Structure 1
């Protein structure tokens, strides 16, 4: 009986350690592989008619860094229709999807997770400049 309890406990620990990683933790350990951008048509979904796609590791990592460093804004969100949709695909199969409002050179930009349209994230002006350069949009 004691041996069964030990086996059960060991199996339980293995299951918890394997299944214990949240999607967010898995993404942190995963590598961003591809970024795609399209003109947005509506909230809550991504238009897959992408005008920009890159698998260049420098561009992909730059964009992932811009998203990761964006600052969450508190309060009620009331936004105009999104300008762009952005999708980031990771090596583990996870996908980040955002609506994107790009400012002019030297201005901030705004991101909104497609799955959470009640929260926005502000992108620094220097990161806006990098986005404009990579995406070649005006």
Structure 2
């Protein structure tokens, strides 16, 4: 998929989440955003178990056999250097507990992600310096 098609697919995903505030019980979390992005770029990730809280999300992750979102994504996607990420690739940044990490979509110099100061997915310019890991989609 060329970069223009990746950008168009990414914008469609973000449009679905842009005005949906983060909500554990409404399937509006970073893992739901990441899964939608994976599907938009041609991947077939497994379904996300239904959970309604941070604790439920933690237990669902543990049932997968992985201790972190990072380990889960490492099992599904090729890891890349964050500096070589293309528009639409997934990025891992520090997050709130219970995970201490969050997923975002690379927007070419900024990250599309849930942020405490936004009502939905936001374009966060200064977040790139905090990227811990990245995966090619």
Higher strand share: 1
Measured against the shorter chain, the TM-score band is under 0.3
Q: Normalising by structure 2, what TM-score? A: 0.26
More RCO (CA 8 Å, sep 6+) = 2
Q: Normalising by structure 1, what TM-score? A: 0.25
